[in-house]
Structure 1
Amino acid sequence: MLATGVIITESLSEETRRPGALELMVDWKKQLLTEKKPLQTGEEGNFLPDFYRGQGLGDLLLFSFALTVTILLAKTGLTGFDWTLFSLVFLLVVGVALTSALVLSLCEPFLRSTHQIRSAILAIVIVMIIVAMSVLLAQQALVFAMLKDRVDLGVALDMVVLAVIPVGVSLRYFSVKQKMYVEKNAAREAGIQAHQASIRPHFLYNALNVIASLIVSDPEKAERAVEDLSELFRDVMTGSPSLIPLREELSLCRRYIALEKLRLGGRLEIEWQIGDYGEDVKIPSLTLQPVLENAVYHGIQLLHGGGKIEVRIRRTGDWVHIDVQNPRNPRLQHNKGHKMAIKNVRYRLRAHFGPSARVGSKVTGSHYTTHISFPVKVYKL
């Protein structure tokens, strides 16, 4: 059920406030100067995909199929192609490939700790040992079934020699693909961080001017404003997690609105219609705040009498829908700012939730509405 709409008339409650403005500002400055975290993709040191978790298994099966066809065509040609023999050889090749993938995944911590060339050589040696053992076991099975007289070590050696080139090529392929995957993740993360850092400077200037004017007339309110501003910019500047619970984003937005109310006073009202969206919903940090800033900057601020912003949040199945509506003055509009904010939010949502995430806007009479829809499940590259 939707919660009853509430018009904000005051700043933060005591539960959402922080211990002290000075302490927060010092902590913010300290983190900015000392925390220089490199980009983390989670897979920088991986030499190969994580086969154990299913990465690259499709390519592995395709390689196995192509290798089997190549071996049989080289041996029998098109006219003598035997599907029964193909099935047996394909099962052997797939077994070797999957076993190799499992062993390489188990050895992954050690492979990551050594030089890449040494890792590649070791990986090839591991696969060659598995090939030799698989061929010997297959021959032993044929001997046990009385389809072969004895185990021939020469056959195992021949298969090892023949497998060197395709194994080396496939490992090189997976290595290059993994590198491209990591670089794509790093580029995506860099884009997310760049967009996250693009909060408008004019908001900071306006907020500081408001705080300066309150220091003499209302020191307590000025202190609350500094706490709100410190918390807001700590999230922007110190690398907060890319995805945060939606409730934290809403808390941040309430702090932002509290700051704007100090500047606009009774001209700014806001109504929150928040449904039961669930505890598992996460959203990119600072996604909803720029939309609210647009509603203030392009809507409320341009109206002499101000107006009311309406925020509606609901969940339908595995999708979350957010609507932000504000009044507008058709004669005074900063259309470029609207488009930049929409583009910013769309980029960050699609980076996390894939191309199905939607961000759009529409004008209905004297109101402007921004609509955001995204799935609960995070998109995987």
Structure 2
Amino acid sequence: MAHHKLSGAFHATCPQELIDLILGKTDSATLKSCALVARSFRPTSQKLIFSDLTILPSGCDSIPALQRLADVFSASPHLALHVRTLHLVQPGFYKPCVWMESESDIVPAILSMFTKLESLDIRVYNWDSLHSNCEQAIYALITRSSLSSIELKEARLKTNATLLSLLQCLPSSLESASFLKVFANQYSSYHDGPKSASTELHQLRLASLHLDSFSPMLFRWANRTVDLKCLRYLHTMVREDTMDDVQQLLDGAVYVETCHLSFGSVYSQPENPNLEKMQGLRTLEISVRLDWGEIEEFEGQGRHNPVNDAMRTLDTAPHTVEHLVLNLNIWNPDELSYFIGSTSFGSTSFDNLGEDHPALQDVIVRIVSGYDYLAALQRGIRYLETVFYQFHKRGMLTAVAVRPPSWEDN
């Protein structure tokens, strides 16, 4: 038998594309080890490690942690160019964190290095606690021409002028914007900002807009600034003090394909949102919060039943709707019958839903509840299958129970 001695110069190699594919399926902790294993692993590992960055996660709220991050970027500036998604997080819901109040230039220096940022998620509750240098650094970050997506969540701003100054920073490159549980002083007018606001608020061609906010000014800003004909996805809260602005949004968003409307448990407007102009609509999602105690406060006036409000809105939807999602946010699913069916608060009927919307392909009804009693959840699902019997019989209905997301989950 012949024996062949392999040359010491021979090395088994693996295509870089395969290495990158494997690394792309690897968790963050393993990637940190991979970056030290081989030269061929390092660039992709570093890119994946720094592509999604959080300042600062819970448990790391300290100046030393910030300084270590600053030292890393100072020694290897190219790593900051890998950051595509950034989360600015206030770990404590009410208590300001170190990076927000610090007079140090560490945070502004770090933020200034993210020149290729694409997505920005800001979860800062106490905006009034932001040190001026941090606030200016955030505003500068928002102006990045590379930015395509921004989410502002759980923000409490003292005045409309403060919110307006932030909105003025949004770049024309933006494609998606979300404002979740944002509050600004509603008693100050829209024009409380700089006198030049009318010239500085350039039009945004957003494809996606999410307005789940307690600030009426945000809705007026959207109508004034967003090119509504570019929208393909719209999620908006429906409140009494924003009803006119919401209707203006719906009337202008004629090419929206997916629309999500969120109703509160107390909604006493005689008129409901009208969707008849949204001729491009394919998926309609409606969320209603059901609270029997709050409903009773109105002494039997049927129009205050939020399910009836939702149904009247559904009746205005164009015939093009193919997918319907109904989220029923309720504590005890056994109380569903108080809101759906014949009650002293009026009747809610789904019998003609299929006839009125012939393009309808499926209906999803979710009980969104933190209730721990499994039997009640099961009874709620069976009740929904009875209410939507025609769709259940044809295999078009999906009735499920899900838990609402907690603040920590968000």
Higher relative contact order (CA 8 A, sep 6+): 1
TM-score by length of 2: 0.20
User: Whose helix proportion is higher, 1 or 2?
Assistant: 1
Q: Give the structure with the higher percent strand.
A: 2
Q: Give the TM-score normalised by structure 1.
A: 0.21
